[in-house]
Structure 1
Amino acid sequence: MSLLERQTLEQRYAIAVHTKVEAYSKNEDKTKKDNYGGMAFTLPIMIRSAGLVQALHFASTRKKQGQKDFLRDLAAVLGEQDLLRASREASITEYMQLTRKTLAVLVWFKRFAQSILDLDASDVTNQTDE
């Protein structure tokens, strides 16, 4: 049995997200890091209040570079080339599954935004504005 087979899904999410956030933490631009981390805090709330496809569409219209980088990394962790398209074209069962999977991954993004990027909710207030 390989190591990957012995890991839980949560462990695989944690490892993949940690790799993405750790790499992004090396970015020298604090504003980009704040924008990136801000998406980790706000996207789960948007998904729960508006639904996955609506939240992803709204987030994809944001102009700030860190936010776009975050969406790219989220899609990569989820194994989706185009996460917005996948959410738009999914059957109801696939949509529900993708929503649950996305929210599970976002828990790790938020945790690592707090620990690695050293952000908290007060640092990211109004990050999705503009």
Structure 2
Amino acid sequence: MKSAAHTYAEKAIQSIRSVEADPDCNNKDYGRLCLLFPSMVQVNGLRLTVAFFQSKGKSQKTLHQRYLQDLAATVGSAAWETGLSTNDMMDYRDLTRHVLQAAVWFKRYAEAILKVEAADGLDS
């Protein structure tokens, strides 16, 4: 039986590899989102961070939307949708914990594979 961390690591590397192979995707910008997301969740909470990322992709499919989709696939789309809309704080905290655990893997792989550094800034 695989641990949750192992599952998150596998799915995160698949997502990062697909971004790396996509010629239409800006690898550095996606990597910066991977670095930015966990700290935004820590400061603002999961709901506000997701709302911010969703608002960035309203008019067109953006890297923000792609990151959210990749993250949702990693933690489980069903858990993602129900966890964000629930009023049960235990479910929300559990989802936040799982999302942060998965986001750490995205961050690690962005640094290792996409060669993004914390000093790199976001222009958007």
Give TM class, smaller chain: 0.7 to 0.9
Match of 2:10 in 1: 15
User: Over aligned residue pairs, what C-alpha RMSD do you find?
Assistant: 2.0
Shift in Å, 1:21 = 0.8
Kindly indicate whether the alpha-carbon contact (under 8 Å) linking 1:41 and 1:110 is maintained by their aligned counterparts in 2.
Answer: yes
State the number of aligned residues. 121
Q: Which moved more, 1:80-89 or 1:7-16?
A: 80-89
Length-normalised TM-score, structure 2: 0.86
Kindly indicate whether the alpha-carbon contact (under 8 Å) linking 1:78 and 1:102 is maintained by their aligned counterparts in 2.
Answer: yes
The equivalent position to 2:38 in structure 1, one of 35, 38, 44, is 44
> Structure 1's 81 and 65: CA in aligned 2 closer, same or farther, altered over 3 A?
farther
**1:73 is aligned with what amino acid?**
D
Q: Which moved more, 1:97-106 or 1:9-18?
A: 9-18
Q: Could you list the runs of 4 or more consecutive aligned residues of structure 1 that deviate by over 6 angstroms after TM superposition?
A: none
Unaligned runs of 5+ in 2: none
Kindly indicate whether the alpha-carbon contact (under 8 Å) linking 2:29 and 2:122 is maintained by their aligned counterparts in 1.
Answer: no
Match of 1:65 in 2: 62
**2:122 is aligned with what amino acid?**
N
Length-normalised TM-score, structure 1: 0.82
**1:62 is aligned with what amino acid?**
K
What do residues 8-64 of structure 1 show as CA deviations (whole Å, max 9, x unaligned)? 22111111111111111102246x222221211111111111111011101111147
Shift in Å, 1:81 = 5.0
Shift in Å, 1:90 = 4.7
What do residues 108-127 of structure 1 show as CA deviations (whole Å, max 9, x unaligned)? 0000111111111233x125
In 1, the alpha carbon distance for the partners of 2:105 and 2:115 equals 14
**2:46 is aligned with what amino acid?**
L
In 2, the alpha carbon distance for the partners of 1:38 and 1:81 equals 26
